Each structure stands twice: as structure tokens, then as C-alpha cells.
């Protein structure tokens, strides 16, 4: 007993708690079912019976007759809406619902002059009608690329026909000219322009230009309203240039965007220029009223210049990213350059999405593309080893070897970008942040003469240990001593560190 007393071991329990103050809100378990129409006016939602003003059944919506998803077909426009509940389709004028996709929704290639659309037959008729064209629909073409390529390869040229006892001309496709596609019927001259003197039509050269729907470039316009070759100020009096069709590569500065060029209308959408009204663009060309407007963005918010259509990631809130310590309320943003304007798209709040970006090699140089992608942090804490933690095919996590949340793990796997939490409500935050709470028992041995000597878990009393626990705490979410997106620290310390004796 005495020996025991002499070898009295003084146990000092150091309790370290890292806990956030959270309001308690009890979770309620609810029975939900499929509601035809809710009191808020939503169709086919999974809600409790008392929230429903229409028919309610305690089952999934796909099992009900009124909310079963199918295809809604509208017979006037010829459009099909898939995955549509029956009740929503029934409200549509001329709409008919079917569980299986109807044959009327089958797609084919619709030829619309020198353009094409991969649509249903009824839709093709509707589009042709709008453009005053005869319907040409090929149901045997079953992919969009083939459809578009087929149209691009059509012969084009001058179509000479008689109107009011006078020879006139339309620049069009062979099919349209020879009556296959119907609006005109005349003699077709492949790769010839209507202003070819040998054709002897009433179409003459002008000094005016036009933008052609579906084309990037500025074109000369003849007196009959047809598009000629690409606008080139030096060729305005060149008879040959007004006689034969020239390709884009044979036209002026074909490797350049020709943005705001007064002399060349060879715009290139991929390089960031597009045919536009010169008033809108702010620069006047030598001839005509159209110009290659500059669509690119100079000196954006991050100081760099981007091409039209390029997108990039921006994280301009305080704090860091990818280190498991994002600021509270911080968010990822995707910026996009559109028509010379920088617009932004927020990634989902609470860092449920993160922004990723990469460069694509194109014939015109690197093209930056960004996207908001789901932040896959959910199962980080469950990973027991580094290999699984760093598996970027499955998750976005960070491995911290020196700290262990669970003694059976080799380290701790935490989210690379910490998720936000609604810490001001509910029990979630308490449960999440509480995982970092730890009780460390430090053992002291009383010396024979005097004093105490730490023999076990002594590191728990060091500042380093406290900091590492805080790091773990912060990487779980909006927990612990964090700053907010403006860089301001919280009103509370964010943790409790208590040392007690036993």
C-alpha cells in the first residue's frame, strides 16, 4: 500500500475541447409522398400531405398515373419535351403525353437552304414554313454532325431566273435553284456570283455590305440583295472578285481576327470577331455599315486578357484554396468573356462546387475553359490511408499524416476545400465540428524527491499540438478559429482548450 503510495502516479487529465456554439434545432422526421400540385404551385413534388392541394399518394411520383414522367409532344411546333410529368403536359395546348417516346419525336436532318437542323419532321415543316422554303427532311441521317456536314458540302452559286421579263439572280444552293427545294427555279452557275457580267442579270455591284445569318464574316452585297465575297476594300472595283466565289482562306487576312478592321471583313469567331453593325462596334469601315466587331476581353478583373468564349476561375475572397482552410462564406467563381464583356457565374454556395480550369489546344492557340464542378469532399473523413485519400478520380481530399482523428487510421483525410456549414442553425455544425474534439490524457509521474515528470501524451500540452488540432478542426468545415471571406476573424475563439487535473 505504501509502495503504491510512493509510486503514486499523479494523473493529470488534460481535457481539450474544441467546440462551437450552436443553436439546437430538433430534426423532425417526416412522411412524404407524391403531390400532384403543392399549395405553393409546384407540380409533382415529394412533400407531406398537408402541403399538398391536389392528389397526394404516399409513394414516389413515378409510381403515380398523374406524375409519371414521359414525353410531351406539341403538334404545332413539333417539339418534344422528355421526362415530363403527365399533368404538366396535359396543361399544354395541343400537347399529348405518352410514356414511350412517340415516332413523331424521331429526329432527322432538315435542310433549310444552306443550313441544316437536326429536328423532328413536324418541326422541320414548321422551320421551313417560317423561312419560306420547301420541306426537305432526311430521316436516314441519324446524327447532327453528318446532317450539318451534308449541307455544308452543297454546291453554291448564281441562280439565274426571269422575273417581270428581266433576268435576275439569287445566290443559293443548286438544290434550291433547280426546284428541288423550291422557292426559285432557274439556271444554276456553280461558284459564280450574281454580279458576274457574263450572266447578264440585273444584279450589280454596290458599295454596301451585309452580315449573313450563320456566317462570321462581312460580305459585299449586290443590288439584288445577295451576298458577294468577303468584304475587302481593295477589291471593291475588282471585276474578278465580283465574278467568282472566293473561299475564306483566299480572302483578306484569313489568319487574323480582323477586329475593327476598316478594310477587311474576314471575321473569325474562334479568334474573337464577328460581323456586326459598325454603330454598335464603334468603328466605321471605309465602305458599308458592317465591321468585324471585337468580341475579346482586354484586361479583365484578374488583369489578363481573354478571347471571346474563354472562361476562367476566380477566387478573390480572403483565405486560401486547396489547403483545407477556406474562409467562411468564401465562394468559387467562373468568369466568362462574352462579346467583349466579362460575366461571372457563381459556383454553388457553401463550397459545394469548386471551379476547375484547363487549357485546350486549338489551331488558334490555347483556349482557356473553366467549369463549376461538385466538390467531392463528402467521404474524405472515412479514408483510412493516403492512397485512398488522394484518389482524385473519386474525391477531392487532402492527407494529413501527422494527425489522427481515429487511432486506427494512418493519418487524417480532410476536404481539400472545406465545405460551408449553416452553423447558425441546426445540429449539423455541432456534429461535424465536434469530430475534432478530443480528450487527451497526459500522464505525469511524481519524482522520488520532488516534482512531476510527464511520461505519456506530453505533446498534448504543447502549442504545436493545439495548432495541429485546430488545423484538423478548421479543415472539417466552417469550424474552429477561422476568418470569413472578408478576412475578418470571428467574435469567439472558435474552440475551448481546457486543462484539468484528476
Partner 1 sequence: MMNSNYYKCKKIMNIMDKRGEKGQLAIFVIIALVIVFVIAVIFLFPRLKIALSGGEFTPEKYLRSCIEPEIKPKMELLNKQGGYANPQGFLVLNETNGVEKIKYLCYTNEYYKTCTVQEAMIKTHYEQELNNLMKEKIKDCATSLKTAYEGRGYSVSQGAIKSSIDIVSSKMNVKFDVPMSVSKNQESNKYNGFTVEIRTEMYNLLILSQTIVEFENIYGDSEITTFMAYYPHLKIEKIKLSEGSKVYILSDIKTGESFRFASRSLSWPPGYRLQ
What's the closest the beta carbon of residue 500 comes to partner 1, in angstroms?
A: 29
Spell out where 298-364 has E strands: 311-314, 333-338, 341-346, 353-362
Paired sense of beta strands 397-400 and 412-415, if any = antiparallel
What's the closest the beta carbon of residue 66 comes to partner 1, in angstroms?
A: 12
What's the closest the beta carbon of residue 95 comes to partner 1, in angstroms?
A: 6
- Element (H or E) spanning 149, and its range? helix 144-152
Paired sense of beta strands 496-497 and 9-17, if any = antiparallel
- Residues β-bridged to residue 290: 277
Give the separation between CA 244 and CA 157, rounded to whole angstroms. 9
Judged by CB, which is closer to partner 1: 371, or 384? 371
**Chain centre to alpha carbon of residue 483:** 29
What's the closest the beta carbon of residue 119 comes to partner 1, in angstroms?
A: 11
What's the closest the beta carbon of residue 92 comes to partner 1, in angstroms?
A: 5
Which residue in the block uniquely carries the three cell numbers 485546350?
A: 360
- Element (H or E) spanning 387, and its range? helix 386-389
Judged by CB, which is closer to partner 1: 49, or 277? 277
What's the closest the beta carbon of residue 15 comes to partner 1, in angstroms?
A: 24
Judged by CB, which is closer to partner 1: 316, or 349? 349
Judged by CB, which is closer to partner 1: 11, or 25? 25
Judged by CB, which is closer to partner 1: 112, or 193? 112
Judged by CB, which is closer to partner 1: 301, or 343? 343
Phi and psi at 129, nearest 5°, equal -60, -45
Which residue in the block uniquely carries the three cell numbers 487524417?
A: 412
In order of 415, 484, 485, the CA distances from 323 in angstroms are: 8, 16, 15
What's the closest the beta carbon of residue 354 comes to partner 1, in angstroms?
A: 12
Judged by CB, which is closer to partner 1: 84, or 278? 84
- Element (H or E) spanning 82, and its range? strand 79-85
Max CA-CA distance within the chain? 132
What's the closest the beta carbon of residue 368 comes to partner 1, in angstroms?
A: 11
Judged by CB, which is closer to partner 1: 77, or 366? 77
Judged by CB, which is closer to partner 1: 150, or 340? 340
What's the closest the beta carbon of residue 215 comes to partner 1, in angstroms?
A: 10
What's the closest the beta carbon of residue 153 comes to partner 1, in angstroms?
A: 21
Is the sign of the CA dihedral 172, 178, 179, 185 positive or negative?
A: positive
DSSP character for 113? T
Contacts with 111 (C-beta within 8 Å, 6 or more apart), sequence order:
136, 137, 138, 150, 151, 175, 181
Q: DSSP secondary structure string, 118-144?
A: EEEHHHHHHHHHHHT---EEETT--SH
Judged by CB, which is closer to partner 1: 244, or 280? 280
Give the separation between CA 261 and CA 238, rounded to whole angstroms. 20
Give the separation between CA 61 and CA 64, rounded to whole angstroms. 5
Q: What does the binding site for partner 1 look like in residue numbers (CB under 8 A)? A: 27, 38, 40-47, 61, 67, 69, 72, 74, 76-77, 79, 81-85, 88-89, 91-95, 130-131, 269, 274, 277, 280, 295, 309, 311, 336, 338-339, 341, 343, 345-350, 352-353, 369, 371, 374, 378, 419-422, 426-429, 431-432, 477
Judged by CB, which is closer to partner 1: 1, or 27? 27
Q: Are 474 and 432 in contact (CB under 8 A)?
A: no
What's the closest the beta carbon of residue 84 comes to partner 1, in angstroms?
A: 5
Q: How many CB atoms lie within 10 A of CB 92?
A: 14
Amino acid at each position: 500500500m505504501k509502495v503504491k503510495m510512493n509510486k503514486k502516479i499523479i494523473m493529470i487529465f488534460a481535457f481539450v475541447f474544441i467546440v462551437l456554439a450552436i443553436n439546437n434545432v430538433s430534426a423532425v422526421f417526416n412522411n412524404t409522398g407524391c403531390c400532384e400540385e403543392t399549395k405553393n404551385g409546384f407540380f409533382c413534388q415529394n412533400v407531406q400531405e398537408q402541403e399538398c392541394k391536389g392528389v397526394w399518394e404516399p409513394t414516389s411520383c413515378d409510381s403515380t398515373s398523374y406524375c409519371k414522367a414521359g414525353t410531351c409532344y406539341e403538334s404545332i411546333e413539333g417539339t418534344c419535351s422528355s421526362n415530363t410529368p403527365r399533368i404538366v403536359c396535359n396543361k399544354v395546348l395541343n400537347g399529348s403525353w405518352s410514356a414511350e417516346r412517340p415516332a413523331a419525336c424521331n429526329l432527322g436532318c432538315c435542310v433549310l437552304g444552306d443550313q441544316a437542323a437536326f429536328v423532328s419532321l413536324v418541326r422541320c415543316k414548321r422551320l421551313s414554313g417560317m423561312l419560306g422554303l420547301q420541306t426537305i427532311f432526311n430521316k436516314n441521317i441519324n446524327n447532327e454532325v453528318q446532317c450539318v456536314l451534308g449541307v455544308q458540302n452543297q454546291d453554291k452559286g448564281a441562280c439565274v431566273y426571269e422575273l417581270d421579263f428581266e433576268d435576275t439572280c439569287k445566290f443559293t444552293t443548286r438544290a434550291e435553284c433547280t426546284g428541288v427545294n423550291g422557292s426559285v427555279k432557274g439556271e444554276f452557275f456553280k461558284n459564280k456570283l450574281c454580279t458576274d457580267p457574263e450572266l447578264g442579270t440585273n444584279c450589280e455591284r454596290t458599295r454596301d455590305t451585309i452580315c449573313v445569318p450563320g456566317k462570321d464574316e462581312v460580305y459585299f452585297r449586290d443590288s439584288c440583295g445577295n451576298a458577294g465575297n468577303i468584304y475587302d476594300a481593295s477589291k471593291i472595283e475588282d471585276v474578278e472578285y465580283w465574278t467568282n466565289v472566293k473561299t475564306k482562306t483566299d480572302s483578306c487576312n484569313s489568319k487574323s481576327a480582323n477586329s475593327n478592321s476598316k478594310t477587311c471583313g474576314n471575321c473569325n469567331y474562334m479568334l474573337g470577331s464577328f460581323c456586326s453593325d459598325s454603330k454598335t462596334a464603334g468603328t466605321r469601315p471605309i465602305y458599308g455599315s458592317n465591321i468585324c466587331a471585337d468580341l475579346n476581353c482586354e484586361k479583365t478583373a484578374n488583369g489578363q486578357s481573354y478571347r471571346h468564349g474563354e472562361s476562367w476561375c476566380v477566387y478573390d475572397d480572403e483565405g486560401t484554396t486547396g489547403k483545407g482552410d477556406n474562409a467562411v462564406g468564401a465562394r468559387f467563381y467562373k468568369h466568362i468573356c462574352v462579346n467583349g464583356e466579362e460575366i461571372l457565374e457563381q459556383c454553388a454556395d457553401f463550397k459545394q462546387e469548386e471551379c476547375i480550369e484547363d487549357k485546350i489546344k486549338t489551331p488558334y492557340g490555347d483556349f482557356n475553359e473553366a467549369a463549376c464542378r461538385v466538390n467531392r469532399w463528402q467521404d474524405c473523413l472515412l479514408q483510412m490511408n493516403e492512397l485512398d485519400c488522394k484518389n482524385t478520380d473519386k474525391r477531392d481530399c487532402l492527407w494529413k499524416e501527422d494527425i489522427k482523428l481515429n487511432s486506427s487510421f494512418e493519418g487524417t483525410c480532410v476536404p481539400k476545400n472545406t465545405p460551408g456549414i449553416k452553423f447558425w442553425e441546426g445540429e449539423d455544425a455541432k456534429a461535424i465540428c465536434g469530430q475534432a474534439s478530443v480528450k487527451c490524457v497526459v500522464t505525469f509521474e511524481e519524482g522520488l524527491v520532488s516534482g512531476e515528470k510527464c511520461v505519456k501524451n506530453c505533446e498534448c500540452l504543447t502549442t504545436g499540438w493545439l495548432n495541429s488540432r485546430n488545423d484538423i478542426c478548421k479543415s472539417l468545415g466552417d469550424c474552429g478559429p477561422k476568418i470569413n471571406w472578408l478576412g475578418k476573424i470571428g467574435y469567439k475563439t472558435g474552440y475551448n482548450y481546457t486543462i484539468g487535473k484528476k
